[in-house]
C-alpha cells in the first residue's frame, strides 16, 4: 500500500540557502542538530509560502489527474460555482475539472486531492519551522535576533492558520497536526480527523499568537512587503469569526485594518494590476509572483489561460448591473481574457507560465463586506447598508476599463431599509460583483446555506453531500482506514 499521506507527514524537507526567502526550494526534511542554521530557520518559514503560489508543478510534474499542476482554488471555488466555466469552448480536456463543474466527482478526483496535498505540505513545513523557532536556545545556536525570531514565528502561526482555514472550510473535520511527525507510528496516530470546532479553536489561538508577535505596521518588512503582516492576521481573524458566526467580533477587527493604513483604492483594478503591487491601499495579503527568478516564482496560472481555460458563465456576466466597471475589469469577453487573473487589461501575461502578477488572497473591500454582513446579522441595518454603498460608490466612480467614467445613475445607493432578508440579497449581489473570480463564490454560497438552491437553478447536480468535498481516497487508503470519509462519498 502506498503511504501517500504518511509520506506527506514524515517526508524530509531539505531547506537550502538562497538570496530571497521565497526562492527557497523545499526538497526534503532534515533537522539533525548539526544542520540547524539561521538559513534553515529562515527557509523553513519562507518555503512554506510556496504552497500559496500559482507556480506550476510545485508538487509534481504535470500530474493533471492528481490535481497537482497548480493549486486548485479557481477550480474548487469558481468553476464549481455559477460564476466560471472550465473553458471558453467546451471540450474533453481535463475531464476531472468537468466533474467538479457538474458535481459528478468522486473521492478519487484530482481537485480535492490537490487541495488537500497543497495545504498539508504547507503545514508540514510550518510545523518544522515553529518547532525550530520555539526552541529555547535557537538564538544562541543560530545567531538569529529575537525580533527576527518573533516575526518569523508570527508569520508561521498565520500561515498555518491560513492552510487550516482552507482545509476546515472545504473538508470539515480534518487531522490537526501541529508538530513535526518523525515516525510512521506517530503519523498513523495523527491521521485521525479532529472535530471542526477544535480546528477552528486552533486557528483562533494561532492567530492570537501571530498578532502579538508581528510589528504594528502595515508591512512587517519594508524590503520584503510580501511577508505576512499584522493586517493579514487581523483580516483572517475577522474572516474566521464571520465563518463561525461570531458576528460581534467581526466589525471591531475590520475597524483595526483602517488604523494600519488600509483603505479602498480609488480605482478598482489597482487591486490586481501588476504595476500597482505593494503601492496600493487595499491589498492586505498576496503571494509575490516574480518572473525570471531562480528558483522560479512566476504566476503559472496565466499559462492555461492561453490554452482557453477559465471563462465566465453567462449567468455571471448577466448578474452585473448596467455599466458596472467591475464587469470589464474582471472579464474581457471579446478577447477571452480574465483580466483579474492576468493582472493586465490588454492580455499581457496570457499564456506565460512565469508571469509576474501577484495572487491576491485578502483585501480591504472583502473585509468591509464581512463587516456589513455581521452588522446585518446583528440588526444594525443602516450600518450594513452604509458599507454596501461605500463599495458601490468606489465602483461607480472608477474609470472603466475603456477609460470612460460610468454614466450618471450607475450603481445607485441602496435605500434605507430594516428588511434583513432584503439587505442580505443586496450583500450577496455586491459580493458577487466585487469578488468575482477571487475564489470566494462557492464558499460564500455554502456558508449562506443557499448553495443547493443556486446550483440547482444553474442546472448543476448539487446534492447535500457537496457541502463538503470528499477526503481524497488515496489518503484514506494510505491511512489504512484511520481517516474516515465525508458522508455520501
Q: Which residues pair with 193 in a beta bridge?
A: 175
> Is pLDDT above 70 for 19?
no
> Is pLDDT above 50 for 275?
yes
The arithmetic mean of pLDDT across residues 399-409, rounded, is 93
pLDDT in tens, 66-107: 999 999 999 999 999 999 999 999 899 999 999 999 999 999
The arithmetic mean of pLDDT across residues 158-182, rounded, is 97
pLDDT score, position 13: 31
pLDDT score, position 121: 97
Q: How confident is the model at residue 34 (pLDDT cuts 50, 70, 90)?
A: low
Question: What is the sign, positive or negative, of the torsion defined by CA atoms of 329, 331, 333, 335?
Answer: positive
pLDDT in tens, 241-267: 999 999 999 999 999 999 999 999 999
pLDDT in tens, 277-315: 999 999 999 999 999 999 899 999 999 999 999 999 999
The arithmetic mean of pLDDT across residues 105-121, rounded, is 98
CATH architecture of the domain with residue range 4-462: Alpha Horseshoe (1.25)
Of 21-25, 39-43, 227-231, 265-269, least confident by mean pLDDT is 21-25
pLDDT score, position 11: 43
Q: How confident is the model at residue 184 (pLDDT cuts 50, 70, 90)?
A: confident
Backbone φ and ψ for 174, nearest 5 degrees, come out as -140, 160
From CA 489, how far away is CA 473, in angstroms rounded? Answer: 10
pLDDT in tens, 351-375: 999 999 999 999 999 999 999 999 9
pLDDT score, position 128: 96
The arithmetic mean of pLDDT across residues 448-473, rounded, is 97
From residue 318, alpha-carbon distances to 9, 327, 424, 432, 437 in Å are 45, 10, 20, 12, 15
Query: Is 310 within 8 Å of 54 (Cβ atoms)?
Result: no
Domain residue spans of the chain: 4-462
The arithmetic mean of pLDDT across residues 6-13, rounded, is 45
Q: How confident is the model at residue 8 (pLDDT cuts 50, 70, 90)?
A: low
Backbone φ and ψ for 97, nearest 5 degrees, come out as -75, -40
pLDDT in tens, 118-152: 999 999 999 999 999 999 999 999 999 999 999 99
pLDDT score, position 35: 79
pLDDT score, position 186: 85
From CA 375, how far away is CA 250, in angstroms rounded? Answer: 9
From CA 99, how far away is CA 86, in angstroms rounded? Answer: 10
Amino acid at each position: 500500500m502506498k503511504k501517500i499521506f504518511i509520506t506527506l507527514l514524515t517526508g524530509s524537507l531539505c531547506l537550502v540557502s538562497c538570496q530571497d526567502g521565497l526562492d527557497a526550494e523545499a526538497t526534503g526534511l532534515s533537522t539533525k542538530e548539526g544542520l540547524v542554521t539561521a538559513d534553515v530557520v529562515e527557509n523553513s518559514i519562507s518555503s512554506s509560502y510556496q504552497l500559496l503560489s500559482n507556480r506550476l508543478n510545485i508538487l509534481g510534474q504535470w500530474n493533471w489527474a492528481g490535481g497537482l499542476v497548480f493549486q486548485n482554488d479557481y477550480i474548487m471555488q469558481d468553476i464549481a460555482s455559477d460564476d466560471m466555466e472550465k473553458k471558453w469552448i467546451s471540450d474533453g480536456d481535463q475531464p476531472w475539472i468537468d466533474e467538479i463543474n457538474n458535481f459528478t466527482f468522486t473521492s478519487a478526483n484530482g481537485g480535492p486531492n490537490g487541495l488537500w496535498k497543497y495545504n498539508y505540505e504547507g503545514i508540514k513545513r510550518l510545523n518544522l519551522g515553529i518547532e525550530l523557532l520555539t526552541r529555547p536556545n535557537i538564538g544562541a545556536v543560530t545567531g538569529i535576533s529575537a525580533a527576527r525570531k518573533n516575526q518569523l514565528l508570527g508569520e508561521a502561526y498565520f500561515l498555518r492558520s491560513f492552510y487550516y482555514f482552507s482545509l476546515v472550510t472545504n473538508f470539515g473535520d480534518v487531522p490537526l497536526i501541529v508538530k513535526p511527525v518523525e515516525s510512521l507510528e506517530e503519523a498513523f496516530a495523527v491521521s485521525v480527523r479532529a472535530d471542526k470546532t477544535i480546528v477552528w479553536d486552533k486557528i483562533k489561538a494561532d492567530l492570537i499568537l501571530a498578532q502579538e508577535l508581528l510589528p504594528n505596521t502595515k508591512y512587517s518588512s519594508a524590503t520584503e512587503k510580501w511577508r505576512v503582516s499584522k493586517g493579514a492576521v487581523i483580516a483572517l481573524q475577522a474572516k474566521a469569526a464571520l465563518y463561525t458566526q461570531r458576528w460581534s467580533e467581526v466589525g471591531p477587527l475590520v475597524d483595526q485594518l483602517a488604523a494600519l493604513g488600509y483603505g479602498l483604492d480609488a480605482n478598482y483594478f489597482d487591486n490586481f494590476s501588476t504595476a500597482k503591487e505593494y503601492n496600493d491601499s487595499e491589498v492586505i495579503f498576496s503571494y509575490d509572483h516574480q518572473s525570471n527568478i531562480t528558483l522560479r516564482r512566476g504566476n503559472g496560472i496565466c499559462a492555461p489561460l492561453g490554452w482557453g481555460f477559465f471563462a465566465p458563465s453567462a449567468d455571471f456576466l448577466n448578474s452585473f448591473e448596467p455599466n458596472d466597471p467591475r464587469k470589464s475589469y474582471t472579464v474581457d469577453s471579446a478577447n477571452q481574457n480574465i483580466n483579474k487573473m492576468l493582472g493586465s487589461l490588454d492580455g499581457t501575461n496570457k499564456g506565460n507560465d512565469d508571469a509576474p502578477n501577484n495572487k491576491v488572497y485578502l483585501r480591504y473591500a472583502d473585509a468591509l463586506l464581512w463587516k456589513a454582513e455581521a452588522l446585518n446579522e446583528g440588526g444594525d441595518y443602516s450600518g450594513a447598508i452604509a458599507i454596501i454603498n461605500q463599495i458601490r460608490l468606489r465602483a461607480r466612480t472608477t474609470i472603466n476599463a475603456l477609460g470612460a467614467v460610468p454614466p450618471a445613475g450607475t450603481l445607485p445607493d441602496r435605500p434605507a431599509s430594516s428588511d434583513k432578508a432584503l439587505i442580505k440579497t443586496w450583500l450577496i449581489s455586491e459580493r458577487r460583483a466585487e469578488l468575482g473570480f477571487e475564489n470566494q463564490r462557492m464558499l460564500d454560497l455554502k456558508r449562506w446555506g443557499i448553495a443547493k438552491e443556486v446550483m440547482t437553478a444553474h442546472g448543476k447536480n448539487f446534492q447535500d453531500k457537496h457541502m463538503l468535498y470528499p477526503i481524497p481516497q488515496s489518503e484514506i487508503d494510505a491511512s489504512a482506514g484511520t481517516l474516515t470519509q465525508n458522508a455520501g462519498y
